[in-house]
Structure 1
Amino acid sequence: MKKLFGVIGDPIAHSMSPLMHNDLFQLYQLDAHYFPFHVKKENLADAIKGLKVLGVSGFNVTVPHKVDIIPLLDEIDPLAKAIGAVNTVVNVDGKLIGYNTDGNGYVRALTNYVHHIEDKRMLMIGAGGAARGLFFSLASAGVKRLDVANRTVEKADALIEECPYEVKANSLSLKDAELALAEYDCVIQTTSIGMAPKTDELPINLERLKAGAFVSDIIYNPLETRLLTEAKERKASIQNGLDMFVYQGALAFELWTGIFPDTERMRKTVEMQLGGKTC
């Protein structure tokens, strides 16, 4: 019997997860299919009941449901509980278990470029929902130092204080972060600045960027934000958000099937779909 998987969100038509996962099901000759489910906020509880009744084997969760879904699940993985958001659900004998693969997906992607992260000093820009998952996962991975710069410093303070893992971290204003930029081996951009309609904006001035630094932006559409373009011009190594998207998907696929998939194939599938898109 064909197994059913999917992704829930609002909007959902833009999602590239169906293309990526259905290609993997074909590659590994699995009798399964992945569907996009358009679920509005007010219909979330009914949708989860429906997916459970249908016996869906697993599904991804995207905006705006990553937080609201938590009380609707039977069990939450400890990391997902700490982060306060779920992006992957596994159906185990009728019990829906929630996980968060975003942060660990990012760490897996980062370590392809940056080795010995336990020796690295990192600056994270932003303290919102995306930053929370990355901060907790990087702290869990043992990063040497992980400072947070945010427009509202109090939000950065809260993010650091709520992290259940021990890590050396300071909160900074964006201006103070710009002045201290030369101290950091890695700069991680987690805000929406760089996406349409803010493609011409910068979240932080890179004038003091350390020579040979690594700059990562979790945005992947456009594939190269203005921040990454300027970082590259300053001879920094760069990474867009495509790797994070691929690896969070790979970890979800592994939770569902027990197979850690071909991430290079996943990357190429998404790149082909993005084509010439810039926004």
Structure 2
Amino acid sequence: MKKLFAVLGDPIGHSMSPLMHNDLFTHYNIDAVYLPFQVKPEDLGVSVKGLKALGVGGFNVTVPHKSAIIPFLDGVDELALSIGAVNTVVNEEGKLIGYNTDGPGFLKGLETYVTSLSEQKILLIGAGGAARAIYFTLAKSKPVAVDIANRTVETAVQLVEECPFSVPSKAISLDEANKSLDQYDLIIQTTMIGMYPKVTEQPVDLLHIKQQALVCDIIYNPLNTQFLQEAGQKGARIQNGIDMFVYQGALAFEKWTRISPDIQRMRENVLKQLGGANYVNW
């Protein structure tokens, strides 16, 4: 019998995850199917119960359910619990266990650009759900420091205070970030500023950016945001959000199947799908 895998979200119609995972199932001769399910917040509990009753092999969770799903699971991994969000669920001998592969996926994508985080002073722009996953995962890797710049400084302060891992951090305003960009080796943009259709917006001024700093933007629609274009023009190295999306999916696939998938194949599929797409939903 064909094994069921899924992604739950609201909305969900434009998710690229089914394309990516169904291709992998075919490539590795796995008798499985990955389906998107639009689930309203009020139906989340009954949907999880239904998937469990059907013997689902695993599923992904996207907005707005990443935090809300936790009470409906049988267990949650330590990192995901500390982040307070789950994006991957695995059926482990009849129990649904939640994980968060967003932060680890981002770190895997960095490996091509950064040999050791222990030498990096990092600026994280934004303090939302994606920032939280990336910040907590970075903190475990013991960089020199991870500072957080956010429009509302109080939200950044709260994020620093809630991190369970010890790392030098301070919360600053976007204006302070503008003036101190030359201090940072790695700058990570985690907000939706610059995403289609508001492609001309960017969160901070890159006037003082350090030469050869690495600038990452988790957005991949457009592939090169205004923020990344300007960073590149000023001599920085740049990375868009494709790597994070692909690696978080690869880590989920590995948890479900114990197979480390072909990353290049996944990346090419995503890039092909993005050709002509105006909006992408994780």
Question: Normalization by structure 2: what TM-score?
Answer: 0.97
Amino acid in the other structure paired with 2:32: A
Matched, 1:21 2:14: no
Residue of structure 2 in register with 1:45 after alignment: 45
Alignment match, 2:63: 63
Asked if residue 211 in structure 1 is aligned to residue 216 in structure 2, the reply is no
Q: Please report how far the alpha carbon of residue 251 of structure 1 lies from its aligned counterpart in structure 2 after TM superposition.
A: 0.4
1:14-163 mapped onto 2 (5 Å cutoff): 14-163=14-163
What residue is the counterpart of 1:167 in the other structure? 167
Q: Which residue matches 1:179?
A: 179
- Whole-angstrom distance in 1 between the partners of 2:277 and 2:21: 21
**Quick one: which amino acid aligns to residue 179 of structure 1?**
K
Q: Deviations over 1:206-227 (max 9, x none)?
A: 0000011110000011111100
**In structure 1, how many angstroms separate the alpha carbons of the residues matched to 2:196 and 2:146?**
28
Letter matched to residue 96 of structure 1: L
Correspondence for 2:226:
226
Segments of 4+ moved more than 4 angstroms: none
1:7 aligns with 2:7: yes
Report the CA distance between 1:117 and its aligned residue.
1.2
> What one-letter code is carried by the residue in structure 1 that aligns with 2:99?
Y
Deviation at 1:278, TM superposition (A): 4.9
Q: What residue is the counterpart of 2:253 in the other structure?
A: 253
Shift of 1:276: 3.4
Contact 1:120 1:144 in 2 (8 A): yes
Q: Distance in 2 between matches of 1:118 and 1:129?
A: 24
Task: Output the aligned Cα RMSD.
Answer: 0.9
Gaps of 5+ in 2: none
Matched, 1:273 2:273: yes
- Amino acid in the other structure paired with 1:76: V
1:165-202: per-residue Cα shift (whole Å, max 9, x none)? 11111111101111010000111000010112321111
Cα distance between partner residues in 1 of 2:47 and 2:26: 27
Q: Deviations over 1:93-122 (max 9, x none)?
A: 211000000000001101221121110111
- Tell me the distance in 2 between the aligned counterparts of 1:119 and 1:168: 13
Q: Which runs of 5+ in 1 are unaligned?
A: none
SS, match of residue 210 in structure 1: coil
Q: Deviations along 1:220-276, whole A, 9 cap, x unmatched?
A: 111111000101111211001110000000000010001111111100000001113
> Retained in 2: the 8 A contact 1:7–1:36?
yes
Residue aligning to 2:240: 240
Matched, 1:264 2:259: no
Q: Distance in 1 between matches of 2:260 and 2:80?
A: 20
Q: What is the distance in 1 between the residues matched to 2:120 and 2:17?
A: 32
Distance in 1, matches of 2:265 and 2:157, equals: 39
Contact 1:223 1:278 in 2 (8 A): no
SS at match of 1:230: helix
CA distance in 2, matches of 1:234, 1:227: 11
Distance in 2, matches of 1:251 and 1:112, equals 17
The two structures have a TM-score, normalised by structure 1, of 0.98
Q: Distance in 2 between matches of 1:273 and 1:157?
A: 38
8 Å CA contact 1:222, 1:277 repeated in 2: no
- Partner deviation per Cα, 1:100-146 (whole Å, 9 max, x = no partner): 00000001101221121110111000011110000000111122211
The letter for the 1-side match of 2:24 is L
- Report SS of the residue matched to 2:7: strand
Moved more, 67-76 or 190-199: 190-199
Count of matched residue positions in the alignment of Structure 1 and Structure 2:
279
Aligned amino acid, residue 132 of structure 1: R
AA matched with 2:18: P
